Structure 1
Amino acid sequence: MPSAPATRDKGGETEKITVNLGHVDLGRVDLLVQEGFYSNRTDFIRTAIRNQLGVHGEAVSQSIARNTLELGLRDFTRADLEAIRAAGETLHIKVVGLARIGPDVTSELALATIGSITVLGALQASAEIKAALADRIQ
């Protein structure tokens, strides 16, 4: 099989999420911000998430290994997919983090080379690619 592109962890790239909190919890967060423990609500939420990920770090690592998932940022370029097609192979994408399918990848090439996509995090691909692979995205 052709060698896969390197996996990278890009801390500067983020995904926006929405969190609903009760009024009392939100007030407590605002109090901690007001008292200078955190610079803002987002700082508090990121810190809380990182703390929980640290608490469960070993379980996450074991699950990644058990499920043969790639961790971080994973790019899939047109050249990568053309090499996979030339080798007569099928790609099963399994990423924890961010998976990106290049903007120059055609729907036909994606359909010919990508057998399944499992992303815990975010998938960045054109609307056409996502539509073409909809039944292969888990």
Structure 2
Amino acid sequence: MPEAEKITINMNVVDLGKVDLLVEEGFYSNRTDFIRTAIRNQLNRHDDEVRHSMTRRALAIGVLHYNRAELEEYAAAGEQLNIALTGLLSIGSDVSAELARQTIQSIKIVGVFRASPAVKDALADRTH
């Protein structure tokens, strides 16, 4: 499972007190458990909408990683990638900015994009 991303939320004190009460009563192990459960429940509740939106946008879902060897194969074949993803896109630290520009035509990421600063800069005009 990919590493979790940290988020910060602001809650009013009454809602936070209610969360703490549920934790103290044993419904959740801690605040994080409550928040993760609430997020998963909301995502499950809107699962059909998410699927329709992903289909409409032609987005894949999951974790996608490219390393230098894979991108060199695309370069050798004269192919360029159009990446559309919901999840995590990772480009290896062994990938140069030049190779990334040569092989990646566009990126549409709904989620997290991990790459070296040089690769991110090289693809900035191709990332939507």
Give the TM-score range, shorter chain. over 0.9
1:81 Cα deviation (Å)?
Answer: 1.2
CA RMSD of aligned residues (A): 1.2
Residue from 94, 97, 106 that aligns with 1:116: 106
Q: Deviations over 1:61-80 (max 9, x none)?
A: 12222212111111112122
2:53 — aligned with what? 63
Higher helix share: 2
1:131 Cα deviation (Å)?
Answer: 1.4
1:20 Cα deviation (Å)?
Answer: 1.1
- The correspondence of residues 122-133 of structure 1 with structure 2, limited to 5 A, is 122-133=112-123
Q: Deviations over 1:15-37 (max 9, x none)?
A: 11111111111111111111111
- The number of residue pairs the alignment matches comes to 128
Runs of 4+ in 1 over 3 A off after TM superposition: none
1:35 — aligned with what? 25
1:96 Cα deviation (Å)?
Answer: 0.6
1:93 — aligned with what? 83
Q: Give the alignment's TM-score, normalised by structure 2.
A: 0.93
Please give the secondary structure, in 2, of the residue aligned with 1:64.
helix
Q: % of aligned pairs identical?
A: 56
Q: Distance in 2 between matches of 1:42 and 1:121?
A: 20
1:5 — aligned with what? none
1:13 Cα deviation (Å)?
Answer: 2.2
1:19 — aligned with what? 9
Q: Distance in 2 between matches of 1:20 and 1:94?
A: 31
Q: Give the alignment's TM-score, normalised by structure 1.
A: 0.87
Q: Distance in 1 between matches of 2:112 and 2:10?
A: 20
Gapped regions of structure 2 (runs ≥ 5): none
